[in-house]
Amino acid sequence: MTATEAAPEKSGLLQQIVRFVAVGVVAALVDFGIYHLLLHLGLVVPVSKGISFILGTTTAYLLNRRFTFTDAGTGGRGRFAGFVALYAVTFAVNIGVNSAALALLPTIAFQTTIAWVIAQGTATVINFVMLRTVVFRS
């Protein structure tokens, strides 16, 4: 394989990463906004984080399916099952990391925001790798 034959794969990966990040920003805004709204309304942290994660994740999945991994075929039930399994794991990781960060961080300004960023970053890395290699094989 020559360097020119390898270029489309690298270009495709770069495009996927850029689109994934853009979609992630939108989904993160949904997650972050709902999380803080629910906290403001008096819901406890794990419930607020759980609901916001589900809504942000659903946004991310729908947008990634449409814009990021568009050439991955239709997938059907197998893709949906992969999505459910992936997000069940990242749901637990996200809430666990968020709770751990809140417990470990000193009481400072923006403590909840910092914990949210740490949890979101962890889940984002897991999601990209698993979406690209398992759910939307490309």
Q: What is the CA radius of gyration of the chain?
A: 17
CA 98/CA 108 separation, integer angstroms: 15
Answer positive or negative: Cα dihedral of 23, 24, 27, 33.
negative
pLDDT digits (tens, 9 = 90+) for 17-39: 899 889 989 998 999 999 999 99
**Overall average pLDDT of the 101-128 stretch:** 90
pTM: 0.68
- DSSP string computed for 85-133: HHHHHHHHHHHHHHHHHHHHS-S-TTHHHHHHHHHHHHHHHHHHHHIII
Over 80: is that where the pLDDT of 75 sits?
A: no
